[in-house]
Chains A and B, each alone.
Chain A
Amino acid sequence: MNKKVSNIKTPLAESVIKKLRSGDIVYLSGTIYTARDQAHRLIMEMIKKKKKLPFEMKGQVIYYCGPTSARFKGHAGSCGPTTSSRMDKYTIKLLSLGLKGMIGKGERSSEIVGAIKEKRAVYFAAPAGLGALVSRHVIESECIAFKKLGPEAVYKFEVKDMPLIVVNDVKGNDVYKRKRKCLR
């Protein structure tokens, strides 16, 4: 198993994405946007109504995350990932609008794994259940949409060296499927 370690930046360039392989450890820096269940639902409504989205999808990275409220303005609270598969329903549309990266936890459906390959995107796992650790890599946080939703709002995060593991790459690999044994 290759465990290449690299530092990468957002927006994700095609030349970077194509080199990433399932199982690699990467340290991500730059802007990412949080969105979970309710934010996805509202973004879909905005797309349908042809409204301007809270952020441009092209080349961007969405983080499936609902942070705790922070003690200090501009800081992030605890901010580990939530289960990505709940957003599978919305993902194909967002990929077609140019979304290039997703960060969350857990397996995606085979349809999404295929779409990631086809659209030359990437899906990363963030340290799951480790919100304090992740918060240290968020240097700035700002709520940019759906403020009323609290933890389910969209936050713009500036991250530095956020530790991630590549799950699904442009070759259709899946780190979660590697070591599974079948039931008896």
Chain B
Amino acid sequence: MKKVKDISRKISEAFIDINYDLSSDVIFALKKALKKETSSLGRFTLRNILLNAELAGKIQVPLCQDCGLAVVYVEAGEDVSLDGSLVKAINDGVKDAYKKGYLRKSVCDPVTRRNTNTNLPPLIHVEYIKGKSIKLYLMSKGGGSENKSRLKMLTPSDGIDGIEDFICETVALAGASACPPFILGVGIGGSFDKVTALAKKALFRRVGSKNKKASLQKLENRIFKKVNSLGIGPGGFGGKATALAVHIEMKECHIASLPVAVNINCHSSRYKCIKL
């Protein structure tokens, strides 16, 4: 029996942690990008990004003022038993983190624009897996990059070329306001709703990790090269590093459709996976 109180505490700690401590895979990718970057404003920006990551923990100021919507992907074991409500545990954990961690509350009523002042509700997705464990994928997702994310229902005849064009077009339209260099979460297939969930889930992969399927690995590499030749660069000031990584996730789809979604994440990719 797992205790929901423990789950809640772990979620709170994790959300505070990701907002002050940029994960090592992101830092590694940023350093790699700096080595290759030739644009001087691009280098200036990348150095500042690395300096900001160093400072945040030291001076106890969040990495970014936009501490985001709390996104939680749950992989719940079918045989898991809890002593209470998991949804309540997630809510309590998020609320606690955003209060204790001095994180900005960035959630509001979409019509009245009134802030909920708690950063609640989080966005929760649940998937069932075999076994007794629970995996929680947590993310503080910024609004600037989310605003530039896109979905398109392509047709089967658009094919791979259509997919590549749509992704490059999305990145070009995103430009500076989505805070490049980006991490691109791409969903291909599924349905109108599933494809965006795939794109978001792709953002939980370690930055620079490869898809298990060889054909998708190739596609990831090709798109990575293509978007990095757009010239947007760090901060949008021109340069080679427009994306730090391209992660594609795929699912079978209807014979009439070819859904594609691009979920853009900024360079301040704040995410973590905890296993319970």
Contact = CB atoms under 8 A, between A and B. Distances in A.
B221 interface: no
Interface residues of A, number: 48
Interface string B78-115: 00000000000000000000000011111000000101
Interface string B144-176: 100100000000000000000100110010011
Contact of A65 (B65, B142, B232): B65
Contact of B103 (A68, A105, A149): A68
Contacts of B209: none
Given A78-B63, A131-B65, A176-B236, A107 B175 contact: yes
A179 B235 CA distance: 12
**What 5 pairs between A and B have smallest CB-CB spacing?**
A106-B177, A179-B238, A132-B56, A130-B52, A131-B65
Interface of B: 39-41, 44-45, 48-49, 51-52, 55-56, 59-67, 102-106, 113, 115, 117, 142, 144, 147, 165, 168-169, 172, 175-179, 229-233, 235-239, 266-268
Interface in A121-179: 125, 127-133, 135-136, 149-152, 163, 165, 175-176, 178-179
A51 interface: no
Contact of A135 (B40, B59, B103, B106): B59
Contacts of B239: 179
Contacts of B169: 183
B65 A78 contact: yes
21 contacts: A66-B104, A67-B104, A68-B103, A69-B104, A71-B60, A78-B61, A78-B63, A78-B64, A83-B177, A84-B177, A105-B235, A128-B176, A128-B266, A129-B49, A129-B63, A130-B63, A131-B61, A133-B55, A178-B238, A179-B231, A179-B238
A127 B105 contact: no
A68 B104 contact: yes
A68 B62 contact: yes
A150 B103 CA distance: 12
Best-buried of B64, B106, B115, B175 by chain A (most CB within 10 Å): B64
Given A80-B65, A127-B48, A181-B231, A69 B113 contact: no
Best-buried of A25, A125, A149 by chain B (most CB within 10 Å): A125
A77 interface: yes
A181 B231 CA distance: 6
Nearest to A150: B115
A61 interface: no
B65 A179 contact: no
Interface of A: 1, 3, 23, 25, 37-38, 65-71, 77-80, 82-85, 105-107, 125, 127-133, 135-136, 149-152, 163, 165, 175-176, 178-181, 183-184
Contacts of B49: 129-130
A151 B142 contact: no
Contacts of A38: 113
A142 to B, nearest CB: 17
Contacts of B61: 68, 77-78, 131-132, 135
A107 B104 contact: no
A175 B41 contact: yes
A128 B59 contact: no
Contact of A180 (B62, B103, B231): B231
A41 B147 CA distance: 20
B55 A136 contact: yes
Given A68-B102, A105-B144, A133-B55, A179 B64 contact: no
A149 B115 contact: yes
B175 A106 contact: yes
B248 to A, nearest CB: 20
B179 A128 contact: yes
B40 A133 contact: no
Contacts of A129: 49, 52, 63-64, 66, 142, 144, 179, 266-268
A94 to B, nearest CB: 19
A107 B237 CA distance: 11
A116 B165 CA distance: 34
Contacts of A125: 176, 235-237
